Structure 1
């Protein structure tokens, strides 16, 4: 019989199930434990990231999309005494580049040049900055963008990572060349300067290079601001989130009167010369013009090479400040100084007279008076009135060059003046010690011509104006140009702040009388330029200084200098103060090769004095600002 199949018994299956159950339970426990551990670790990590380190990762995320950069502050304003802006700022658009946001900065610059266009100078500057400038500081690609430039940048934004359009400011000078020497100008920092101070590397930062801009550069610079921008994955700016423009530089208020400055510059227009006017009460500089001049705004962006060459080749040297650095033999405007030196030491008195036959013979040399017919017997008053050279030949011999030099220093003709501008010339008057040191054989002839402001004497128009103010007041008036910074006044406006010069009052009165007669009597050399203001009188002194050594034959023949070529004609000077009995202003005018002070310089001084005495010279409080139309902060281009 075939074997019968064995049938699984229920008891066997149950037994096997009981044997396998512990194995599955252990595996499930192990798997569950593993899963629990993994999820626990993930939960712990999430808790740590989302709770404990939330601030850190929020900051990292923010920096992934938000860029912060420094921006140059607006430069402080420079104003005149009334608050009229003399140096301001004007907004414009510019293309900037954050190198840190571009994997290949040089390639971006090359693409930008193809899209927008860069000239050779811009390309050279950018290539220098790519190497020398830190990548976290924005790099200026192109300034003064127009609408088309900005449109091309926006259309090609994805190809220009890190490139963005920003608003900048340029320095503007509403009065242009009229104040160029005085206010000065600004320029980009050099690579060395930018390396020493990272703030100077910011696009738009400028450094004062001349005039008030240079002397007050520290307060005019201001404090940088911060701009937050959102950028996309390509490094292109999506939007500006926040902008802090920083702190604008402080306003510097000068003592200048822009109206008087304009008159001085216009009256000198077309000539080479300078005009300086000082307030005799407080020493404030009201006007100081030098012609010819230049456009100071060109330095902000860089003077074109052709313009620079034209300035350098111009024989009249437009960049030279004739008012503070022009050194001249002052001619007869020096005679009040020589007279005071002699009166102070007792070499002469107000009553001393000398006879002028039209010349003085000294050894084998004849020194002529400007009037070969002579002036006859003259004292210090009439000698000043008629500008008699022979009288002052005698004065110089009587007093000597050392006392003349000492009086020149006391009157401010030579020495340092605290004007508040860089590189002001101190002038020069010879002394016996100076001559001895240089082994010069000093003769009586050398002394004679010093008495009429010729020879080695060299002074500035500023020095002549200072001398005039001191003669007018008898006090050591010191000219200065800075009146206030911000809302702070720098100088107290007190008439008695200047110490007395200690000059003999009788001698001082004689010199003032002589200067009064110069302008207000028919015999005076400046009579044609007397004031037309009723009851107001001006005292002054004309001066003519030769720049061409005439031969003895020419002197004897009384050569007419007007027939000489322009560059050989004498320089013309005039000094004055007014009103005579209560002096308020002192002025000095120099016209190079003007031939005669009476005809070339005196009318300019008269017009300046007339304008000053008919104006209200009361200054506005420091901090007052009256924006000139050219200086308003106007954004050019789309908002």
Structure 2
């Protein structure tokens, strides 16, 4: 049935209106799109260009050069040398296993190092460069560079690695660096981004660790352009970082090297200190180890060998080792008693070889006794009974106070790890730490540097320097930073009675220069360099009454670890003190036989600045000393090697 014309016209009008509405909406939508496109292409062009650049540009950190370390005369102690390595970025590599497989056909990869690298690639951010092979050869780098199209994400790099040209001589003082570990990161509240770079090296012990922030420097940055597969195409720009500060220490390289050679074969420590400035001219612990082994990552076998060595090469005995000071402590007891007026210089104490105290017999080292002893004679011949007697009158509090005044029991602020405070006990200490009251037997033992008393070789050197100068000399290790001399704090006057101190020094002089002195056989003949000193022997075992009755076993007949420690302290020249020396030989037997000869040789070497003339030694020793000097010259490093470079 046909629709009327009127209905057709109405329908046509409706369609036209709808079409106009739809067409208008579409036109409006297209207009909005055009405006949006114009806004994005014109108004926001720079922003989108930057986003596009960011998709093809990576920003990477540039590790700074670590600050170098020099001795007091400019000999290099720690330096940076070129090191070739191969790194990989996971995001750029794609199939990591396939790329590593291709790389392994070009370069020999260490399985252990590769395993560490795989863990790092899985755990770290995808844009972090991970070292796949370190310390590779230039030929390896060349092969990788030629084959870069087949190795996406792999980059051959030239970096810097730490080297210690003096080897073991500075292992305990300077320490060493090593890769950042999880334990290192846990100790730091807000780690520098540099520390998150795999295999980045930081100081682990010694000066390297304590001056880490100073030596590390600040990172630089570089922007690199990468293609669609992630390969670096070019470097766009670079902002260099800030190299770490160079540090000059107070140690004398030649003296340090000599001491290590002189201590060879011993478990020992020696400290040489400038009496005026407090500069540590030498700080040696023997045996030592090669710190370069730790830089690369020491093998399990090498590390186990260090741990198993009964002479304990890893600890720094000079500042960590705590020993009963033995008779080197007697100057402390004498000064405490004299200053307190408990005894005068001429008063004598009779020594029959022992002293009965509260039903217990305390023995002198000389079984038959010394007879009547005054202060001077007691130091020269090292009579124990004299100090037992004056300690009972003086009391531990005054003895302890004098010891602290002279630097014992003090933890010195040096940039070294594990600097020990030693132990200078008193009544409060024993009550707090042992839960017991102090008894007079404790005072008797402390009077001769035994019992609870413990000191380090560093503290003994400080004590000796203070006795020589009557000033509170403080040890110093850092001489300058980036060429800027570090200030020396003038030491305060100790305020000790100079008349009493003069008599103590005279007694120390006769220890080395009087025929009855315990160190007479190790004297210096050269008048200008004569020394004042004191021997010490500290027991490490108890001697039973039965053993005393049948005769005390000689140290030479005991197992090494049960022998007494040998100690010697001295300063020289006697009339114008320049240096103070402390030597401890673990289980060396006797201070006069084991420690004093070493200290005498070190003292002469320090004062002459080279091998001393034979005329400085007693005539009977000269042939032996001549042979010894020749052997030590052969054992010491050649001064023409890399380590002798001057800054």
Give TM-score scaled by structure 2 length. 0.83
Residues 466-494 of structure 1 deviation map (CA, whole Å, 9 limit, x = unaligned): 111111111111112112211322223x7
- Residue 64 of structure 1 deviates from its aligned partner by 7.1
Per mean C-alpha deviation after superposition, the further-off stretch among 174-183 and 466-475 is: 174-183
Tell me the residue number matched to 2:475: 479
- Distance of aligned partners of 1:58 and 1:534 in 2 relative to their CA distance in 1, 3 Å threshold: farther
- Residue 63 of structure 1 deviates from its aligned partner by 6.3
- Residue 445 of structure 1 deviates from its aligned partner by 2.9
Tell me the residue number matched to 1:592: 586
SS at structure 2 position matched to 1:295: coil
Alignment of 1:540 onto 2:533: yes
SS at structure 1 position matched to 2:430: helix
Q: For residues 188-337 of structure 1, what are the structure 2 equivalents within 5 Å?
A: 188-191=179-182, 196-202=191-197, 205-229=200-224, 231=226, 234-237=229-232, 245-337=240-332
Tell me the residue number matched to 1:369: 364
- Please give the root-mean-square deviation of Cα atoms over the aligned residues, in Å: 3.0
Which of the residues 428, 431, 436 maps onto 2:431?
A: 436
- CA–CA separation in structure 1 for the residues paired with 2:344 and 2:90: 79
Tell me the residue number matched to 2:126: 135
- CA–CA separation in structure 1 for the residues paired with 2:218 and 2:431: 54
Which of the residues 606, 611, 614 maps onto 2:600?
A: 606
Residues 429-457 of structure 1 deviation map (CA, whole Å, 9 limit, x = unaligned): 22122333434354433322221111111
SS at structure 1 position matched to 2:529: coil
Alignment of 1:126 onto 2:117: yes
- CA–CA separation in structure 2 for the residues paired with 1:329 and 1:48: 81
- Residue pair 2:114, 2:133 contacting (<8 A) in 1 also: no
- Residue pair 2:75, 2:645 contacting (<8 A) in 1 also: no
- Residue 534 of structure 1 deviates from its aligned partner by 3.7
Tell me the residue number matched to 1:418: 413
- CA–CA separation in structure 1 for the residues paired with 2:570 and 2:644: 35
Per mean C-alpha deviation after superposition, the further-off stretch among 70-79 and 607-616 is: 607-616
- Residue pair 1:419, 1:478 contacting (<8 A) in 2 also: no
Give TM-score scaled by structure 1 length. 0.84
Residues 308-339 of structure 1 deviation map (CA, whole Å, 9 limit, x = unaligned): 22222222221111111111111111111111
Per mean C-alpha deviation after superposition, the further-off stretch among 334-343 and 51-60 is: 51-60
Relative contact order, higher structure (CA 8 A, sep 6+): 1
Residues 479-524 of structure 1 deviation map (CA, whole Å, 9 limit, x = unaligned): 12112211322223x7xx1111121222211211110110111111
- Distance of aligned partners of 1:428 and 1:150 in 2 relative to their CA distance in 1, 3 Å threshold: same
- Residue 589 of structure 1 deviates from its aligned partner by 0.2
Alignment of 1:579 onto 2:579: no
Per mean C-alpha deviation after superposition, the further-off stretch among 317-326 and 236-245 is: 236-245
Q: For residues 92-107 of structure 1, what are the structure 2 equivalents within 5 Å?
A: 92-107=83-98
Gaps of 5+ in 2: 1-33, 611-638
- CA–CA separation in structure 1 for the residues paired with 2:344 and 2:641: 54
- Residue pair 1:369, 1:390 contacting (<8 A) in 2 also: yes
- Residue 191 of structure 1 deviates from its aligned partner by 4.1
- Residue pair 1:547, 1:571 contacting (<8 A) in 2 also: yes
Per mean C-alpha deviation after superposition, the further-off stretch among 508-517 and 438-447 is: 438-447
Which of the residues 448, 455, 460 maps onto 1:452?
A: 448
Which of the residues 121, 127, 149 maps onto 1:158?
A: 149
- Residue 525 of structure 1 deviates from its aligned partner by 0.7
Residues 210-259 of structure 1 deviation map (CA, whole Å, 9 limit, x = unaligned): 11111111110012123455655544445666655522100111111111
Tell me the residue number matched to 1:359: 354
- Residue pair 1:230, 1:240 contacting (<8 A) in 2 also: yes
Alignment of 1:501 onto 2:487: no
Per mean C-alpha deviation after superposition, the further-off stretch among 223-232 and 415-424 is: 223-232
- CA–CA separation in structure 2 for the residues paired with 1:230 and 1:285: 52
Tell me the residue number matched to 2:558: 564
Gaps of 5+ in 1: 1-40, 617-625, 634-639
Tell me the residue number matched to 2:28: none
- Distance of aligned partners of 1:627 and 1:57 in 2 relative to their CA distance in 1, 3 Å threshold: farther
Residues 379-407 of structure 1 deviation map (CA, whole Å, 9 limit, x = unaligned): 11111011111111112212122211111
- CA–CA separation in structure 1 for the residues paired with 2:565 and 2:475: 24
- CA–CA separation in structure 1 for the residues paired with 2:200 and 2:401: 46
Per mean C-alpha deviation after superposition, the further-off stretch among 430-439 and 578-587 is: 430-439
- Distance of aligned partners of 1:540 and 1:418 in 2 relative to their CA distance in 1, 3 Å threshold: same
- Residue pair 1:87, 1:174 contacting (<8 A) in 2 also: yes
- CA–CA separation in structure 1 for the residues paired with 2:496 and 2:207: 34
Tell me the residue number matched to 1:350: 345
- CA–CA separation in structure 2 for the residues paired with 1:109 and 1:419: 46
> Which has more radius of gyration?
1
Alignment of 1:82 onto 2:41: no
- CA–CA separation in structure 1 for the residues paired with 2:449 and 2:402: 13
Which of the residues 516, 519, 532 maps onto 1:526?
A: 519
- Residue pair 2:427, 2:437 contacting (<8 A) in 1 also: no
Tell me the residue number matched to 1:398: 393
- Residue 572 of structure 1 deviates from its aligned partner by 0.2
- Residue pair 2:528, 2:573 contacting (<8 A) in 1 also: no
Tell me the residue number matched to 1:387: 382
Tell me the residue number matched to 1:173: 164
- Residue pair 1:90, 1:631 contacting (<8 A) in 2 also: no
- CA–CA separation in structure 2 for the residues paired with 1:60 and 1:444: 82
- Residue 155 of structure 1 deviates from its aligned partner by 4.4
Per mean C-alpha deviation after superposition, the further-off stretch among 545-554 and 208-217 is: 545-554
- Residue pair 1:72, 1:203 contacting (<8 A) in 2 also: no
- Residue 632 of structure 1 deviates from its aligned partner by 8.2
Which of the residues 478, 484, 506 maps onto 1:488?
A: 484
Alignment of 1:515 onto 2:512: no
- Distance of aligned partners of 1:81 and 1:477 in 2 relative to their CA distance in 1, 3 Å threshold: same
